[in-house]
Amino acid sequence: MKPLVALTIALTSLSAQGADLAEQTFSTYVDAKGDIRLPADARSTWIHLGSWVVADQQAPGYGFHDVYTQPETVAAYRKTGAFPDGAVLIKEIRAVEQGPQTTGQAQWAGDANVWFVMVKDRQGRFPDNPHWAEGWGWGLYEAKNPAANVSKGFAETCRGCHVPAQQSDWVFSQGYPTLAKP
């Protein structure tokens, strides 16, 4: 096969996969008004991108942070270095538990407290919805009612924490070794 033909086939395949991901995401997790639903059971069916620990008990993000995404997102990101349309990132923040173990004093992730959800929107589908800005949809869900997005919108709830990651598409991707090419 000639190199140009192989490249064309590969790009066509990647484009089709991206369209399928966006279609799946926007039909499953986002309604016609742009309201985002927390994907169920991502911890067991999606790919773990990486973990963070915020150890300062006074910080608003105190706890264990585990981040998940769809397998298609990882494949596309490794090929292009960018999040594809329809990519969903879920950051689950869990309580910190601790105690003595046979290996010494240890800390581990406890129950989930909140989930932050980002949905990549390369088409600007919801320009009048405050939860959609900077190429992403933004949501915040609490353990007491994971069906309700309690975010007050990107500007009020999400922007402040994500400004340092503005140059990397608003994502703290340095904490996600799974996105690196193998």
Higher per-residue pLDDT: 98 or 9: 98
pLDDT at 51 over 90: yes
Over residues 50-74, the mean pLDDT reads 92
Higher per-residue pLDDT: 18 or 179: 179
Residue 181: pLDDT band (50, 70, 90) is: confident
- What the block records as the tokens of 119 is 């949905």
Between CA 79 and CA 167 the distance in angstroms is: 19
pLDDT at 28 over 80: yes
Cβ neighbours, 10 Å, residue 6: 10
142 closest CA partner among 120, 115, 173, 178: 115
Handedness of CA 15, 91, 135, 40 (dihedral sign): positive
In this predicted structure, what is the pLDDT of residue 182? Answer: 78
Number of domains in the chain: 1
15 closest CA partner among 81, 85, 111, 70: 85
- What the block records as the tokens of 134 is 């900077």
CATH number at 42 reads 3.50.70.20
In this predicted structure, what is the pLDDT of residue 155? Answer: 94
> What residue numbers bound the domain in which 169 lies?
3-179
Identity of the amino acid at 14: L
Q: Which residues, other chains included, contact 157 with Cβ-Cβ below 8 Å and sequence gap of 6+?
A: 138, 140, 151
pLDDT at 140 over 70: yes
Q: Which residues, other chains included, contact 125 with Cβ-Cβ below 8 Å and sequence gap of 6+?
A: 26, 34, 132
- What the block records as the tokens of 74 is 């990882």
Contact of 38 with 147, CB cutoff 8 Å: yes
Look up tokens 């353990």; give the residue: 143
